[in-house]
Amino acid sequence: MARLRTDLQVILETIAEAVYFQPPTNSQIDYPCIVYRLDDHRADYADNGKYDSHKRYQVTVIDRNPDSELPDRVFELPTCQFDRFFTAEGLNHWVYNLFF
């Protein structure tokens, strides 16, 4: 049975209080937070048919604290891979790819 995006939302909410799926650019965001979006959708094929599919989400932890525990907690999720780190406007951003 395919997993729903809302299931991922619930999991991420156990890590951070503020979790946003594709927030609009003009919305107010509380920090620390997790922002995520659908990034890719891949399929596995065999015998001329699709037998499995995987959605990849880009998950970004944003926190003012450079020693935040949130990135480590996200990284512990199965199929999570670290992508990059950057700072912008005084905020630290940890970006991960998560197949779900």
Q: Where are the domains of the chain?
A: 5-99
> What single-letter amino acid sits at 17?
E
Task: Specify the residue for token string 């779900």.
Answer: 100
Question: Model-level pTM?
Answer: 0.89
Secondary structure element (H or E) that encloses residue 37, with its range: strand 33-46
Question: What architecture does CATH give domain 5-99?
Answer: 2-Layer Sandwich (3.30)
The strand pair at 80-88 and 19-21 is best described as unpaired
pLDDT digit string (tens) for the chain, length 100 residues: 467 899 999 999 999 999 999 987 888 899 999 999 999 998 888 888 877 788 999 999 999 999 999 999 999 999 999 999 999 999 999 999 999 8
